[in-house]
Amino acid sequence: MSNIKNIAVFTSGGDAPGMNAAIRAVVRTGLYYNLNVFGIGRGYDGMVHDDIFAMDAKSVANIIQRGGTILKTARSEEFRTVEGRRRAFENLQKKGIDGLVAIGGDGTFTGASKFIEEYNIPIIGLPGTIDNDLAGTDFTIGYDTAINTVIEAVDKIRDTAESHDRVFVVEVMGRDSGLIALRSGISVGAECVLIPEIKVDYEAMMDRLDRTRKNKASRVIIVAEGDDAGAFAVAERIKERFPHYDLRVSILGHIQRGGSPSCMDRVLASRLGVAAVEALMEGRRGEMAGLIHSKVEFTPFEKAIKHIGAVNDNLLRMVDILSS
């Protein structure tokens, strides 16, 4: 028999497609188990400022297909302070909230760990970020939709690049992670993919551009935003070496964060949302629910946020083989 009676769900950090599907799953699962379910607006900021409200089955109707987050999100400065966290805890206490589901990325889980350390409140995390930069899950909620958005955009860029015999340097998001760049790069048949995890060999890149020119009218280089150089600097280098190239830069930006979630993100969010509530009821805390080889697994927050060196360089090797 679970001691948990009142749970609250919130989204924090950058939004990601599928967050709404996750909120819906948490709310409906809580209600299924006869818990009272609350939503918190604007992440930790709403906790500090008492933006906490009851949710019912209707409040999550017709949202599974919507991008963004109906709860809104923020990166809260106040919650980083001892006083901010104290106010947040008092606001939760006022409503009798005894369990939290935090949907977000590494910043969200760092905050959650601190909160548990100070107030021992049960929190389960769901990986909600387009960056796919968390350990303990094969994919984060939002990543699949984001890479599909990149593919759609770069396919369009390829049409115009091909018509003009142009070289395009396209910058994609991912913060310090190259995983958006790598997977989307393979999918669009990019000639080069530059990611922060692996030092760029500019000589090899120039050789490849020169070599592939014989077979191809257009060339597309995908650059992860976390890469040291950035798209404009990469374009500069190419221009220096090949001044005759007709070169353009395109920064895809925040379109990568929006849009209706893919089937994969909706199912992932739904599965993990159910798992999070059941985990709270089983007495778990301080862990992120993720999917590893199609199975729900729990990873402590401290481990989940240390996603280091997770790049499969075989995939980068594939870009070399397939773009020649």
As a whole number of angstroms, the distance between CA 135 and CA 252 comes to: 26
Catalytic residue chosen out of the listed positions 131, 133, 144, 265:
131
Using CB under 6 A as the binding rule, whether residue 130 contacts ligand F6P is answered as yes
Please indicate if the annotation marks 152 as binding a ligand.
Answer: no
The nearest distance, CB 175 to ligand F6P, in angstroms, is 4
Please indicate if the annotation marks 281 as binding a ligand.
Answer: no
Please indicate if the annotation marks 190 as binding a ligand.
Answer: yes
Is 131 among the catalytic positions?
yes
How are the residues of the chain apportioned to helix, strand and coil, as percentages rounded to the nearest 5?
Answer: 45, 20, 35
Please indicate if the annotation marks 284 as binding a ligand.
Answer: no
Strand order in the sheet with 36-40: 52-55, 36-40, 6-11, 99-104, 123-127, 287-292, 295-300
How does DSSP classify residue 70? T
Please indicate if the annotation marks 161 as binding a ligand.
Answer: no
Using CB under 6 A as the binding rule, whether residue 129 contacts ligand F6P is answered as yes
One-letter amino acid identity for 260?
S
Residue in 9, 10, 12, 14 binding ligand F6P, rule: CB under 6 A: 14
Stretch binding ligand F6P (CB under 6 A), from 85-93, 127-135, 155-163, 279-287 = 127-135
**CA gyration radius for the chain?**
22
Burial class (CB in 10 A: 0-12, 13-18, 19+), 87: middle
Stretch binding ligand F6P (CB under 6 A), from 26-34, 78-86, 94-102, 173-181 = 173-181
Site for ligand F6P in 98-117 (CB under 6 A): 105
Nearer to ligand F6P, 26 or 173 (CB): 173
Stretch binding ligand F6P (CB under 6 A), from 118-126, 160-168, 170-178, 291-299 = 170-178
Using CB under 6 A as the binding rule, whether residue 257 contacts ligand F6P is answered as yes
Residues 6+ apart with CB under 8 A from 239: 245, 247
The nearest distance, CB 27 to ligand F6P, in angstroms, is 24
The nearest distance, CB 225 to ligand F6P, in angstroms, is 6
DSSP-assigned states of every residue in 92-119: HHHTT--EEEEEE-HHHHHHHHHHHHHH
Long-range contacts of 198-207 (CB under 8 A, 24+ apart): 198/311, 198/313, 198/316, 200/227, 200/228, 200/229, 202/237, 206/238, 206/241, 206/242
Tokens of 230: 């950035």
Q: Yes or no: say if 128 and 73 are a contact pair by the CB < 8 Å rule.
A: no
Q: What does each C-alpha distance from 166 to 155, 157, 204, 209, 253 come to in angstroms?
A: 14, 10, 20, 12, 21
Tokens of 79: 């919650």
Please indicate if the annotation marks 174 as binding a ligand.
Answer: yes
Residue in 30, 37, 112, 131 binding ligand F6P, rule: CB under 6 A: 131
Which helix (H) or strand (E) is 240 found in, with range?
A: helix 231-241
Please indicate if the annotation marks 217 as binding a ligand.
Answer: yes
Please indicate if the annotation marks 129 as binding a ligand.
Answer: yes
| Per-residue contact flags (x/-) with ligand F6P for residues 282 to 321, judged by CB under 6 A | ----------------------------------------
Residues 6+ apart with CB under 8 A from 3: 98, 283
Nearer to ligand F6P, 33 or 258 (CB): 258
Nearer to ligand F6P, 197 or 225 (CB): 225
Site for ligand F6P in 40-79 (CB under 6 A): none
Nearer to ligand F6P, 186 or 224 (CB): 224
Binding residue positions for substrate: 129-131, 166, 173-175, 225, 248, 254-257
Catalytic residues: 131
Residue numbers at the binding site for ligand F6P (CB under 6 A): 14, 105, 129-131, 173-175, 225, 257
